[in-house]
Amino acid sequence: METFGDLVAAEDVLLFVNAAITATGQREFHGDAAEQRLSLDFLHAYMLGNYRDLYAAALALDINDHNAVLIIRRLLETGREADAAQRATEGRLIARRLALLPPQRVYGLFRALRRAKVNNRRTRAVMRDWIAARPDPAFDAVKYRGALKQAVRHAHLAPAGPASPDTAPGQRQPGRQLPGAAGELGAFLFAPRSRKRFETPILESWRRAHHEQGALYELPYTVAEGFAAAHGIDRAAFLERIAPRMTRLEQLRLQESGQRHRADAVQADLARMPLTRLASYVLALPPDDRVRRRAELTAALRTAAERAAGPARGGWGRVTAVLDDSFSSYGSGHKRRRPLAVALACHHLLAALGAEYTALWTSGRRDALLAHPYGPTPLGRRIVDALGTGPDRLVIVSDGRDNAPPGLAAEVLRVWRTRLDPEHRTGVVHLNPVYDADGFDVRRLAPSVPTAGIRDVEDLPSLVELAQFAEGRTGLAELTAHLAARTGRFLEGAR
C-alpha cells in the first residue's frame, strides 16, 4: 500500500518532468528569463538530492535539450554521490542522450564542464566515447574547431601525430588517441599552419578556402559564410552556390532570405521538416504569403502530421481540440509565436490521429493557416462547445490562463467530471506549452483534468500517456514502472 510520501514523490516527479519539457530558461509572455532560470535551478537541485534515480530516468523522456544538458551536467558533477549500480545506469543514459543531442549542444556542455573544472574520470570517459563515436570527426573539426579543440584537451586525448601545445617536452602522452587519418586531425586542431597540404578532403578545402574562393563551397554553410565575408563575395551568388551544402533546417531558415536576395536555389523541402518547426515557419510568414502559398503549406503540414502520427493515424476515434490563439500565444521575443506554433502543429496532428476531428480556436477563427495571436482567452466557453460535440477525446492546448471570464474553464471541467461524466467516457487532457516559473510547473486548468507540458508536438501521443499520472489516481509504483519501461525502450534504441 502506498503511503502519503509515495504520492508526494509521484507529484514531485511529474512536476519536474513538465518543467523539463517546457522550460528553456528564456523569457515567456508572463515571466522573465531570470525567474525561469532560478526556478529551474531549484527543481534540478531538489530532484537530484531527493530522487536521483528518477532524475536520471528523465533523460529517457521527451524533455527538451536544454534540460537534458542540465541533467547530464549535474550527474557528472556529483558522480561521487552515486553508487556503482547508479553510475552504470547513468552512464548508459548519458551516452544514449548525448548521441541524440545536436552536436553544438554537446560541445556547449563540454565547455561548461571545462569552465566548472569538472574533470573526473567518468566525465573524461563520456567525452572520449562521444568524440570517438562521431561519424565524421574531420567535419566536426572544421565546423566546431574551437569546441572540439577544448574537448580534446579536457578529455586528455592525444592527437595522433604531433604533440599538442599543452604537452611539455618529454612528457608522456595520454594513451587514448583522437581519431584521424594519419594524425591529420591533431595537426589541424593544434597546428593547422604546420602542413602545406592535408590528405583529408574537407581539411584541405578549409586550408585552400583561405586563398581560393572556389574551395569554400566545399565546406559546411556556417564555415563557408565566414570565408565568403572575408572574400567579399556577393550574398546572392554565395547563397546560390552554397545551397547544396545546407542542412534542411538551414534551408528553411534561409529560404526567405534567399528570395530577398533572389537566390532561388535556396528552397527547403517543407514536407520533410519536423511538424513543430514547420508550424513556426508558417506562422512567421506574412498573411498574404500564407494565402498565396495555401496549397503548398497546407500539404506540407498535413504530410508532416501524418508522418508524426505513424501507425496511430486515425485510431483515436472522435477527437475535439480547444486551441489557444489568444494574445499571450505570441510568447516572447526569445520564443516568438512558439505557443501558437504548438497549437497549430497539434491541430494538424490531432486531425491525423482522429477518425473524426473538430477544432475550436479560442478566437473563434475557422482558418487555421491564418492563425495569429489575438484577444482574450475564453477557454470555458470553448470547452462547453467542445464537450457538446460528444468526443471520445478532448485535447486542450493552452497556457492555462483562462480569463474570459476567469475560472470558468475550471468550473466547467469540475461539473463535467463530477456530475455529467463521472465514468470518464470522454478522455480530457490539457497540454500546456508554457512554463510557469512562479508555480514551478505548467499552469493547470482543474484538479480533475491531467495536464502535461509540451514543446515538440511530435511527442504528443507519449505525453498524453504520461498525463494520466497527473490525475492523482496512480502513485509512485505505477509511475516508476512507467519510467522503467520508457528507460528500457530508450536504451534499447541505442543497440
Q: Write the pLDDT tens digit of every residue in 196-227.
A: 899 999 999 999 999 999 999 999 999 999 99
- DSSP-derived secondary structure for 5-25: HHHHHHHHHHHHHHHHHH--S
Given this model, what pLDDT does residue 333 score? 83
For all residues of the chain together, what is the average pLDDT?
A: 88
Q: Which residues pair with 359 in a beta bridge?
A: 321
Using the predicted structure, report yes or no on whether residue 290 has a pLDDT greater than 50. yes
Given this model, what pLDDT does residue 253 score? 78
Least confident window among 71-85, 221-235, 275-289, 454-468? 454-468
Q: Write the pLDDT tens digit of every residue in 415-433.
A: 999 999 989 899 999 999 9
Can you give the length of the chain in residues? 495
Given this model, what pLDDT does residue 278 score? 93
At 60, is the pLDDT very low, low, confident or very high (cuts 50, 70, 90)? very high
Mean pLDDT within 292-306: 95
Closest CA to 321 of 260, 393, 403, 413: 393
Sign of the alpha-carbon torsion through 205, 209, 214, 217: positive
Q: What Rg value do the Cα atoms of the chain yield, rounded?
A: 25
3-state secondary structure of 318: strand
Bin 365: left if φ > 0, else alpha if -120 < ψ < 50, else beta.
beta
The CA distances from residue 11 to 202, 410, 440, 470, 482, in Å, are 51, 20, 12, 7, 14
Query: Does residue 13 contact residue 37 with C-beta atoms inside 8 Å?
Result: no
Least confident window among 53-57, 168-172, 318-322? 168-172
Using the predicted structure, report yes or no on whether residue 267 has a pLDDT greater than 90. no
At 317, is the pLDDT very low, low, confident or very high (cuts 50, 70, 90)? very high
Given this model, what pLDDT does residue 167 score? 42
237-266 burial by CB neighbour count: b if 16+ within 10 A, else e? ebbbbbbebbeeebbbbbbbebeebebeeb
Which domains does the chain possess?
210-268 (no CATH), 277-492 (3.40.50)
Q: DSSP letter for 316, please.
A: S
Nearest-angstrom CA–CA distance, 154 and 399: 42
207 C-beta neighbours (distance < 10 Å), count: 17
Closest CA to 224 of 241, 248, 199: 241
Given this model, what pLDDT does residue 182 score? 47
Retrieve residue 385's grid coordinates.
Answer: 462547445
Mean pLDDT within 25-36: 86
Closest CA to 282 of 348, 224, 234: 348
Given this model, what pLDDT does residue 264 score? 54
At 21, is the pLDDT very low, low, confident or very high (cuts 50, 70, 90)? very high
Using the predicted structure, report yes or no on whether residue 181 has a pLDDT greater than 80. no
Q: Write the pLDDT tens digit of every residue in 72-125.
A: 999 999 999 999 999 999 999 999 999 999 999 999 999 999 999 999 999 999
Nearest-angstrom CA–CA distance, 40 and 19: 7
Retrieve residue 213's grid coordinates.
Answer: 574562393
Retrieve residue 413's grid coordinates.
Answer: 471541467
- DSSP-derived secondary structure for 46-70: HHHHH-HHHHHHGGGSS--HHHHHH
Cell 523541402, residue? 269
Retrieve residue 338's grid coordinates.
Answer: 512558439
The CA distances from residue 76 to 45, 65, 86, 364, 490, in Å, are 13, 17, 12, 49, 20
Closest CA to 383 of 430, 423, 422: 430
At 256, is the pLDDT very low, low, confident or very high (cuts 50, 70, 90)? low
* Helix residue ranges per DSSP H, 232-329: 235-242, 248-260, 275-284, 287-292, 294-309
Using the predicted structure, report yes or no on whether residue 2 has a pLDDT greater than 60. no
Give Cβ neighbours of residue 243 (< 8 Å, ≥ 6 apart): 251, 258, 263, 265, 266, 267
Least confident window among 125-134, 262-271, 274-283, 404-413? 262-271
Retrieve residue 329's grid coordinates.
Answer: 500565444
Report strand pairing: 356-361 vs 318-323: parallel
Report strand pairing: 451-453 vs 427-432: parallel
Query: Does residue 355 contact residue 316 with C-beta atoms inside 8 Å?
Result: yes
Nearest-angstrom CA–CA distance, 130 and 99: 7
3-state secondary structure of 237: helix
Q: Residue 320: in which H helix or E strand, if any?
A: strand 318-323
Using the predicted structure, report yes or no on whether residue 344 has a pLDDT greater than 80. yes
What percent of the chain stands above pLDDT 90? Answer: 65
Nearest-angstrom CA–CA distance, 161 and 57: 40
Nearest-angstrom CA–CA distance, 112 and 128: 16
